[in-house]
Amino acid sequence: MASLSLPKVSFFLLLLTLFFYSSPCAARTKCCITSLYQLGDSIADGGNVIRIPDAHIQARAWGLPYGETFFNKPTGRFSDGRIIADYIASALNLPFLNPYMDKSGVSFSQGANFAVAGATALNSSFWATRKVASVPYNVPLPAQLEWFKSHLKSTCGSTCARTLRNSLIVLGEFGGVDYFNSLGQNMGEPEVRTYVPLVIDGILSAIRDVIQLGATRILVPGVFPFGCLSGYLKRFPDSNPNAYDQFGCLRFYNRFAMFHNTELKKALANIQCEFPRVKIVYGDYYGGFRTIFRYAPWLGFNTSTLVSACCGCCGGVGQCSSPSDGLCPNPAQHVNWDGLHLTDEAYHRISDIVINNAFPKFGCYGLGNSGVLSSS
């Protein structure tokens, strides 16, 4: 077998390097993902809800202290700064996603954010028949999918399938609002558990929809550990000390979240077999959250306030009413922001863990920069 001489090998490597760096996607993005589309609830809302008439009255992310840490102004994100969608975009060398409802002439050339605070996986009519109230401005997953389809028609037309081949769809995390609304109406856990397969069926239906449109890479996040959210701790206190774990989280609600996530992972494994050429990856938001609790001292979080909200102590659960509403002096030392949402720093750490664990399955390597151990 003939061998290549050193000059020939060097020339070959040079050509290979030039080809890689001259490819359209490698120069601008990571792993050929040129656009990002996000659906979801308030964990992922980048500013849609504050643009829905009358919704901003209840969803107070239009004012400070929201956005104070990173943007120095409120953006409609339910955090003091960035959210997971922002960190994913940055890891992929993409700009922050503009909210779909922003009609001020912003660019949607590299994706869009369709997530809306208060969004359920299942339609409001489903919950109404079960006497479970949703927010009046609810934009559930099926409605967000209609937004997505309308957006594609207006931006890429007949080339949408090609656009989606080079895109990442982040679908979720759905279910959190459905369950919080149900549990908040004093439904027993056995009844709420019966809704988990229906919520997951709704997610699977959405996955099939985006695959039919041409999507080839889909990240499907699980839900957070509900029992570690200060809003749950405030709304569902338990007089039994054994109801709480070593971090002060309510075990019962964490077990419920784990049940949802376990069932979701099973469902994703099945639908992956149905679409072997599409990469459908579970995003372990639960594991990322719990990992930063375990390594809190090394990450700069105050271990005495892990389950305490940075702001909103005097307002409603899941919102900061005003800049002076019990705001903590250093949000970067807190995980919980307003009771149901997290701080910029917490989202940063969770994003790094999710990116490091999930994105290699999309063929993307070295995107996260966290030194935290794997959440597995």
The tokens for 220 are: 């499907």
User: Catalytic annotation on 341?
Assistant: yes
Taking a C-beta distance cutoff of 8 angstroms, is the pair 138, 119 a contact? Answer: yes
Q: Which of 42, 134, 230, 351 is catalytic?
A: 42
Length of the chain: 376
Q: Which of 35, 86, 230, 341 is catalytic?
A: 341
Q: What angle do CA 131, 136, 137 make, to 5 degrees?
A: 135
Q: Scanning the structure block, which residue is given the tokens 């996986």?
A: 121
User: Catalytic annotation on 338?
Assistant: yes
Taking a C-beta distance cutoff of 8 angstroms, is the pair 212, 318 a contact? Answer: no
Cα distance between residue 287 and residue 337, in whole Å = 19
User: Catalytic annotation on 351?
Assistant: no
Question: Considering only CA atoms, which of 106, 98, 90, 112 is closest in space to residue 35?
Answer: 112
Contacts of residue 375, defined as CB under 8 A and 6 or more positions apart, other chains included, come to 284, 287, 288, 290, 291, 353, 357
The tokens for 131 are: 């006497």
CB atoms within 10 A of CB 171: 25
Cα distance between residue 170 and residue 35, in whole Å = 11
Q: Which of 338, 344, 370, 375 is catalytic?
A: 338
Residues designated catalytic: 42, 338, 341
